Structure 1
Amino acid sequence: MRLIKLFIVLFIAAIGHAQDLQVASIFSDHMVLQRGEKLPVWGKSAAKQKITVSFAGQIKATKSDKAGNWMVYLDPIEVSTIGKDMVIQGKTEQILTDIVVGEVWICSGQSNMQWETDKIPEVRGLVPFVKNIRSFEVERSVSFKEKSMMNGQWKAVHPSSAVAFSFAYFLEDLADVPVGIIHTSWGSSSLEAWMPYDMVEDVPHFSQIMEDFSKDTTRIKKIGKILEKQGDWETKEDIYLRRQPSILYNAMLHPLIPFKVRGMLWYQGERNTRHMSGLPEYDERVWFHQVCGMKDYGEVLQKWILNLRGRWGNPDMHFMVVMLPGFGKGTYQQKEIDPESPSELSWAWMRESQLATLSLLHTSVINTIDLGEVDNVHPKDKLPIGQRGALLGAKYTLGDNIEALGPKMSSVELVEDKIIVHFENATQLQTLDGKSPTAFWIANEDKKWVKAEAKIEEEQVVLSAPKLKNPKYVRYAFAGKPKVNLVNALGLPAYPFRTDKWDN
């Protein structure tokens, strides 16, 4: 009899809990809302229940559907540095306090995005000068299905990520508004880890990956057993989870949709540099190599961006890609390479794929070609990435009329035995050390690359090589870890490029 009574009590309590008002987990005290945009607020409640949301003088009402889902939209709100309360009412009431309005960005990717502020002295030194920066740290986990809720909360502190914090710090300085960072990253995760399952319809290699994944019952059971530990994982278990496809998206990105943000800062790609193209054979030893290669990455990344914009219902959502910085190692098949050679299978090919995203509107790429370390996949120079990202954010999302780009090749002119490279964003084109520009290589029809003698003439660079007749192609900084010195008046580096692809 006691067991029956206990069951009844628990059952009634469960029903009552199911009818409690819930707001999506991205909403909490201390959050930052995106200014100047229509703002969705959503959650769960009992079915057909009236819900009202009050904030900043607005009161919006709706009724939950049969499943208890509800959503209202607040009208666009201007900047607010003074925290206000949001009141959500149904059968019960929730009050969220200290909410400000400014610029909101998602910062995502793998280990170089995850790399902690405390490990980078130059970034850590900014902490005492923080003004209006807040952050939401998404708890690292995976899920076999798209989740509506996640663990995490807004805090009135800087992000744990050095790149995210540097970006937020300099963006706040330029915009003079509160900046909110939603940090969701996990080391050694691939692009495929962050891809929603429905992309199998558009990306053949991802379809194959997910087919193999769904058939691998041993793998699925292992993931399930790790998840039963509820985060108390050993290092090898942590690594095993983060190297899986799609299930990171389900747990760490999907629950954010459709929270209004200005854009996403994406620092990922290292996991996808293990091979050039195609999909490696599935093998138990190297199952985590089953990702797209460097030449394919650009097309897949663009499809991913378009997919997420569609899910967010925001075609103008800005995607800012961090170009992979200098690194002197090659692919899985050939790791040891000449880090300055333009013909090696290096990260240069990944950078080209990342730059291909610029064919989409509302995208930008942070140039890091002068950064990085030849033998360290986790370089320490994170501060300039945030600085350059903030400039791009101010220019392309805030409408500031500022210089934010380094020199970019605009055209190439063949004149006798010389090649003239014309640049844009090249005011006061110069070199950092006052010497001739470096990292230029040229070739004729045989495509045997030779170092070029380079000379700056106004906003162009003239290239030649004494023993090379009829030069036709140029590669600039197209190497794993090139030594570069070409900048504009602001000291922003020239973007890498190659012209031989025009004939491919």
Structure 2
Amino acid sequence: MRDRKNWVAYAVILWSVFLPRLGAELWLPNIFGDHMVLQRDLDNPIWGKAQPGERISVTIGGKVRETTAGPDGRWLLKLDPMGAGGPYELTVRGDSETLQFQDVLVGEVWFCSGQSNMLFNLGSAFDSDVEIASANYPEIRLLQVPRRASLEPLEDFEGGWNVCSPRTASGFSAVGYLFGRQLHNALGVPVGLVANPWGGSCAEAWLPMDLLMANEETAEVVAEWKQDAASYTDEMYERDMAEYKKQLKEWERFGQYNGQRRPFGVLDKRLYQRTPSGIFNGMVYPTIGYGMRGIIWYQGESNTPTAKRAGQYRDLFPTLINYYRDIWGQGDFPFYWVQLPAYGPEFDDPNGDISPRNWAVLREAQSGALSLPNTGQAVAIDLGEGNEIHPGAKQAVARRLARQALARDYGYELVSGSPQCASAVVDGSRVTLTFDQVDEGLYAYGRNEVSGFSIAGEDGVFYWAEATIPVRNQVVLQHVEVRHPVEVRYAWGDNPPNNLRDRNGLPVTPFRVRLNDEATRGLE
């Protein structure tokens, strides 16, 4: 009897060892699955693992592509481009195993990335009850990548595609879903949305470690994290978790804790959403190469703790865009982002002396990335709530992002984005600003006077400027105390006055510009 028990135990061990190997002979990551959407008009990459040398074929819509697994078992092939349509069955065959994915559509695929304002779910947005009740779109498909930081690149994640419904949409990114719905209704094709945001994440978490270490400023961020991580212990984490549970219990009982909203969770400084390269390894790496049209991005708040960190975004953000385009291998795909909205106490100094603020500096850095090809910005300065870092008006944000895509990628005759200052001409004490991307003229929203412009002379003292609109795309500024203007600012501050719009209701892009007395000065 004892020998039989030993034999059974040995058999169980063998079974546990070899069964996973047998089941893993043909493997694809979870970015591929039932209900997925493939990017139309693109030779979509499909990849996975098999036995070394194994022959692999992928069939969809009657078309077959074949390849052979390499010495390490990895394989990759590209499908023939297809037009929008479906549903299809996608079949992956190896020498001894076959995988089938059902209800596959072909349409438009967009990634939805960033921090908490992209993570912010539909159930928390304004009019969420109406939005959820109407979220019956079987040709919109949703994939939520789980939040996970890692010190090493991961090949897969837990999760899969879902058909859009009131149940699946309510917990999905509000900006992502509402953006995708706009495209689906306009284009009449399936839309796939891959959401991988993480609240509180800094841009450094979205880039690989070797790239961060190659730059002196971002290497400093890595060094600071290593120092924090080294000083953080299990005991400290348990202490912080106990305090969080106490706060949460009181919040659940009274609806608040010390007058505050729901307490934030505990951040383990050793491995969390601000760990340099952590999100790239855990959430981006498993999806790299999946066929898509482009990325929408809402991030930057966590890069504003100091003016120095905000200023670093001038180089960091374009680096991120360029790196993603390089590693994805699908050319200069569209990359559209949300410029940070107004946040913090209102600044209404009677003299207009608004000192540089961290959020203003980061907004300027975001605008600077527009110099890259196929980029666009949804200006949201007017949508902030001051005391709430997560504004609820996600519908307006999504419409502005959709405007970029519809105008730039899908051929709609729309103004793609907010008016921007194109030039400034000094004539004595007057400054004439000319704006581009103006649709049907500029106007002062909500009041008769334009607010938000400040002007300074050689002494560096700023005053709120008198602003008039002589023609549809120009604003003239002056102030009695400024005889020789040298600098102009508009909406320059964390939560500054701003009411200049075009007739679509799009806010003018915040900016600052240095002037001279001799020539036109455009934004650099």
Aligned residue identity for 2:437: N
Selected match of 2:379 from 352, 367, 386: 367
Aligned residue identity for 2:39: Q
Tell me, in whole angstroms, the C-alpha distance in 2 between the residues paired with 1:169 and 1:113: 15
Are positions 1:183 and 2:195 aligned together? yes
Question: Measured at CA, do residues 337 and 314 of structure 1 come closer, stay the same or move farther in structure 2, by a change above 3 Å?
Answer: farther
1:112, 1:187 within 8 Å by CA — same for their partners in 2? yes
Are positions 1:84 and 2:115 aligned together? no
Are positions 1:308 and 2:324 aligned together? yes
SS at match of 1:125: helix
Selected match of 1:416 from 407, 415, 428: 428
Selected match of 2:216 from 200, 204, 207: 204
Tell me, in whole angstroms, the C-alpha distance in 1 between the residues paired with 2:119 and 2:13: 45
Q: Deviation string for 1:122-162 (max 9, x for gaps)?
A: 35523315433211000111222101111121101136111
Tell me, in whole angstroms, the C-alpha distance in 1 between the residues paired with 2:377 and 2:500: 18
Aligned partner of 1:137 in structure 2 is 144
SS at match of 1:347: helix
Aligned partner of 2:503 in structure 1 is 489
What residue ranges of structure 2 are gaps of 5+ in the alignment? 1-5, 239-244, 246-263, 516-520
Tell me, in whole angstroms, the C-alpha distance in 1 between the residues paired with 2:225 and 2:343: 31
1:347 is displaced (CA, Å) by 1.1
Question: Measured at CA, do residues 221 and 97 of structure 1 come closer, stay the same or move farther in structure 2, by a change above 3 Å?
Answer: farther
Q: Deviation string for 1:401-432 (max 9, x for gaps)?
A: 21122221111111121110111122322222
2:310, 2:358 within 8 Å by CA — same for their partners in 1? no
Are positions 1:453 and 2:466 aligned together? yes
1:483 is displaced (CA, Å) by 2.5
What residue ranges of structure 1 are gaps of 5+ in the alignment? 227-232, 278-292, 331-335
Aligned residue identity for 1:378: H
1:430, 1:486 within 8 Å by CA — same for their partners in 2? yes
1:434 is displaced (CA, Å) by 5.3
Aligned partner of 1:61 in structure 2 is 66
Question: Measured at CA, do residues 77 and 182 of structure 1 come closer, stay the same or move farther in structure 2, by a change above 3 Å?
Answer: same
1:393 is displaced (CA, Å) by 0.9
Question: Measured at CA, do residues 412 and 215 of structure 1 come closer, stay the same or move farther in structure 2, by a change above 3 Å?
Answer: closer
2:353, 2:454 within 8 Å by CA — same for their partners in 1? no
Tell me, in whole angstroms, the C-alpha distance in 2 between the residues paired with 1:399 and 1:46: 45
Aligned partner of 1:33 in structure 2 is 38
Percent of pairs with identical residues = 31
Q: Deviation string for 1:380-399 (max 9, x for gaps)?
A: 12111000000001112223
Q: Deviation string for 1:73-105 (max 9, x for gaps)?
A: 01111111x311101111211111111111111
Are positions 1:174 and 2:186 aligned together? yes
Aligned partner of 2:338 in structure 1 is 322
Tell me, in whole angstroms, the C-alpha distance in 1 between the residues paired with 2:398 and 2:136: 14
Are positions 1:152 and 2:152 aligned together? no
Tell me, in whole angstroms, the C-alpha distance in 2 between the residues paired with 1:65 and 1:468: 71
2:310, 2:361 within 8 Å by CA — same for their partners in 1? yes
1:147, 1:255 within 8 Å by CA — same for their partners in 2? yes
Question: Measured at CA, do residues 139 and 379 of structure 1 come closer, stay the same or move farther in structure 2, by a change above 3 Å?
Answer: same
1:209 is displaced (CA, Å) by 3.6
Aligned partner of 2:305 in structure 1 is 274
Counterparts in 2 of 1:316-465, with a 5 A limit? 316-328=332-344, 342-426=354-438, 427-433=440-446, 435-458=448-471, 459-465=473-479
Aligned partner of 2:253 in structure 1 is none
Aligned partner of 2:55 in structure 1 is 50
User: TM-score, normalized by length of structure 2?
Assistant: 0.85
Aligned residue identity for 1:448: V
1:218 is displaced (CA, Å) by 4.3
Aligned residue identity for 1:142: A
SS at match of 1:9: helix
User: TM-score, normalized by length of structure 1?
Assistant: 0.88
**How many pairs align?**
475
1:497 is displaced (CA, Å) by 0.9
167-176 vs 458-467, which moves further: 167-176
Tell me, in whole angstroms, the C-alpha distance in 1 between the residues paired with 2:388 and 2:454: 25
1:349 is displaced (CA, Å) by 0.8
1:373, 1:481 within 8 Å by CA — same for their partners in 2? no
Tell me, in whole angstroms, the C-alpha distance in 1 between the residues paired with 2:445 and 2:266: 44
Are positions 1:466 and 2:496 aligned together? no
Counterparts in 2 of 1:257-296, with a 5 A limit? 257-277=288-308, 293-296=309-312
Aligned partner of 1:71 in structure 2 is 76
Question: Measured at CA, do residues 248 and 219 of structure 1 come closer, stay the same or move farther in structure 2, by a change above 3 Å?
Answer: farther
Tell me, in whole angstroms, the C-alpha distance in 2 between the residues paired with 1:148 and 1:337: 51
Aligned partner of 1:286 in structure 2 is none
Question: Measured at CA, do residues 350 and 329 of structure 1 come closer, stay the same or move farther in structure 2, by a change above 3 Å?
Answer: farther
Tell me, in whole angstroms, the C-alpha distance in 1 between the residues paired with 2:292 and 2:353: 41
2:209, 2:276 within 8 Å by CA — same for their partners in 1? no
1:329, 1:337 within 8 Å by CA — same for their partners in 2? no
Tell me, in whole angstroms, the C-alpha distance in 2 between the residues paired with 1:434 and 1:218: 54
Aligned residue identity for 2:122: T
Tell me, in whole angstroms, the C-alpha distance in 1 between the residues paired with 2:353 and 2:105: 50
Tell me, in whole angstroms, the C-alpha distance in 2 between the residues paired with 1:373 and 1:470: 36
Aligned residue identity for 1:271: S
Tell me, in whole angstroms, the C-alpha distance in 2 between the residues paired with 1:345 and 1:18: 53
Aligned partner of 1:6 in structure 2 is 12
Question: Measured at CA, do residues 200 and 405 of structure 1 come closer, stay the same or move farther in structure 2, by a change above 3 Å?
Answer: closer
